[in-house]
Amino acid sequence: MDFSDFNISIVGLGLIGGSFAKSLRKCGFKNLWAIDINQENLRKAEELNIIDKGFTNPSIPLSKSDITIICLYPELVVKFIQDNLKNFKENSIITDATGVKSNIVEVIQNLIRDDIDFIGGHPMAGKESKGFDISSAKIFENADYILTPTMRNKPENIKLLKEIIKEMKFEKIVETSVKDHDEMIAYVSQLPHIIATSIMNNSMADKENICSGGSFKDITRVSNVNSDLWVELLIENKDNVVKQIKDFITQLEVIENLIDLKDYHKLKEIFDKGRENKERI
Amino acid sequence: MDFSDFNISIVGLGLIGGSFAKSLRKCGFKNLWAIDINQENLRKAEELNIIDKGFTNPSIPLSKSDITIICLYPELVVKFIQDNLKNFKENSIITDATGVKSNIVEVIQNLIRDDIDFIGGHPMAGKESKGFDISSAKIFENADYILTPTMRNKPENIKLLKEIIKEMKFEKIVETSVKDHDEMIAYVSQLPHIIATSIMNNSMADKENICSGGSFKDITRVSNVNSDLWVELLIENKDNVVKQIKDFITQLEVIENLIDLKDYHKLKEIFDKGRENKERI
């Protein structure tokens, strides 16, 4: 698709915003701008030629942007839109990259101007650490992207966003409701982070000379997490996360009980079912 | 070190036994033999020239082997040694590759001939699937190896085993007691496998269109497990595994409770501590 008619602004040039800039640069937009309070990162992005220009004042780029991608922490997304309500270009599209949607999509759709189309988005990609310097177009390649459109969104705008997402080499684009998104994310993303952190807080982790194999390395990888962001996301999605932890504990207790009973056959059934599910997903 | 004086036998040519054969082939032993009931695998190993000869009858190779490496399921290790008590070469070394040691080392040391030195061993390497066909010398490279020697073992034999393990390119060799081994393994290996299986048995895993990122893929990798072997290992190490599951559930409940209370600061402390431990280990 030809994107040369569109101006695009990225708000927040951290790990995700920087990765958007690096990935979108290849798509041929008329102008690709970034907005951040960190002038150093804007300067670096200009020098790398992954944006056309960086701005600390959002009013100019927003007033000319057909699409604005907000890559801020959840609470700041709403605040940024509130503070810039008058600045957005007429009939433009806004999307975000937030990992939890319930307190974002409805709140924003209720407060924005009628002519603006806010479509919730979530690129399922990241790294254990944070910041512009480790951003990379590669983290998006073959990753999944979730959109949470509502009846308020214009079909042609959803279509345009999907074209851009495909161009960035994401593998799968899935549309879900806000409710389904937050339920799924509690399971596929937030629970794994809680597990990794729980394992690393076990008293055994304090021992000297811990040996480990691949399973331990893999399962604890994401314990090296950006805690500011993740704690905010967990609290934002409180009810779903608590439900997932409870379900998971129930499942652990089933296995614990069967081990205690030395019930070889029922344990084997559970492990075989797990392998089948893994192969299917 | 020069190994050209030694004959060595591998018992059981599955994933681990096959990987030993492929890895040991480069060490220059006088003879490298394999014992298995599966003639097809023995023939393949001969054709690949990773063993000098395969045997379905263990008496001949055992009677000439200075070192015997037993790569069978835990219960079969003891049975194999019992059945072949008279066959082992005088003053030879036997080691194993079993993931749980409590019911192996003491039992075997109590039943073998006085001249034979049984040293418990555990290469911390594997793959999600099983069998000779996926065996590889690569899985040992940079992996950890645990030895569980006792007062009964001869220091020069422990030293020889360590030389061979280094030659196979393992990164770290750790000596622990049987008790410490089984406690550590419940934490670093068995708990991660139980977690992966528990996640894949969650009702959410049955949903259509599950999207996921790297954290989910990594944390569930080992759910694709050899259930026959793993269920046996979990039951063998019952008390340690149950203790690790209980500790882990306690930790999960702490996080669950803090999320429920929206206690941002205490949650951040836990996630930061987890990251610090991860960086240290």
Q: Given B210, B232, B252, which is nearest A281 (Cβ)?
A: B210
Best B16, B128, B148, B198 member to test A by mutation, with max A CBs in 10 Å, is B198
A259 and A200: one domain? yes
A145 and A251: one domain? no
Q: Given B143, B198, B235, which is nearest A262 (Cβ)?
A: B235
| pLDDT of A127 | 78
A107 and A132: one domain? yes
Tokens at B130, concatenated:
């099983």
- The number of angstroms, rounded, from the C-alpha of B204 to the middle of its chain's C-alpha atoms is 32
Measured CA to CA, the distance from residue A196 to residue A192 in angstroms comes to: 6
Question: What is the residue range of B41's domain?
Answer: 7-175
B167 and B245: one domain? no
Nearest C-alpha neighbor of B35 from the set B3, B5, B6, B65: B65
B23 and B89: one domain? yes
Q: Given A209, A220, A274, which is nearest B278 (Cβ)?
A: A220
Measured CA to CA, the distance from residue A68 to residue A172 in angstroms comes to: 22
CATH number of A40's domain = 3.40.50.720
Domain termination site, one of A175, A206, A238: A175
Closest chain A residue to B234, measured at CA: A259
Across the interface, do B204 and A184 touch by the CB < 8 Å criterion? yes
Q: How close A211 gets to chain B, by Cα (Å)? A: 6
Q: Is A258 inside a domain boundary?
A: yes
pLDDT of chain A, 281 residues: tens digit per residue = 888 899 999 999 999 999 999 999 988 899 999 999 999 999 999 999 999 999 999 999 999 999 999 999 988 999 999 999 999 999 999 999 999 999 899 999 999 999 999 999 999 988 777 899 999 999 999 999 999 999 999 999 999 999 999 999 999 999 999 999 999 999 999 999 999 999 999 888 888 778 888 888 888 888 888 898 899 999 999 999 999 999 999 999 999 999 999 999 999 999 999 998 888 87
B51 and B170: one domain? yes
ipTM of the complex: 0.86
Q: Which residues of chain B have pLDDT under 50?
A: none
Best B73, B136, B219, B220 member to test A by mutation, with max A CBs in 10 Å, is B219
Across the interface, do A124 and B212 touch by the CB < 8 Å criterion? yes
Q: Is B2 inside a domain boundary?
A: no
A30 and A157: one domain? yes
Tell me the pLDDT tens digit for each residue of A11-62. 999 999 999 999 999 888 999 999 999 999 999 999 999 999 999 999 999 9
Best A101, A211, A270 member to test B by mutation, with max B CBs in 10 Å, is A211
Catalogue the E-assigned strands of chain B: 7-11, 31-35, 53-55, 67-70, 93-96, 117-123, 144-148, 172-175
Nearest C-alpha neighbor of A192 from the set A125, A245, A139, A126: A245
Q: How close B50 gets to chain A, by Cα (Å)? A: 25
Residue A193 bridge partners (DSSP): none
Give me the half-sphere count of Cα atoms (radius 13 Å) on the Cβ side of residue A212.
22
B25 and B114: one domain? yes
| pLDDT of B127 | 78
Domain termination site, one of B129, B146, B175: B175
Q: How close A231 gets to chain B, by Cα (Å)? A: 6
Tell me the pLDDT tens digit for each residue of A102-116. 989 999 999 999 999
Across the interface, do B176 and A218 touch by the CB < 8 Å criterion? no
Across the interface, do A277 and B205 touch by the CB < 8 Å criterion? yes
B15 and B139: one domain? yes
Nearest C-alpha neighbor of B93 from the set B146, B140, B156: B156
B190 and B273: one domain? yes
Q: Is B1 inside a domain boundary?
A: no
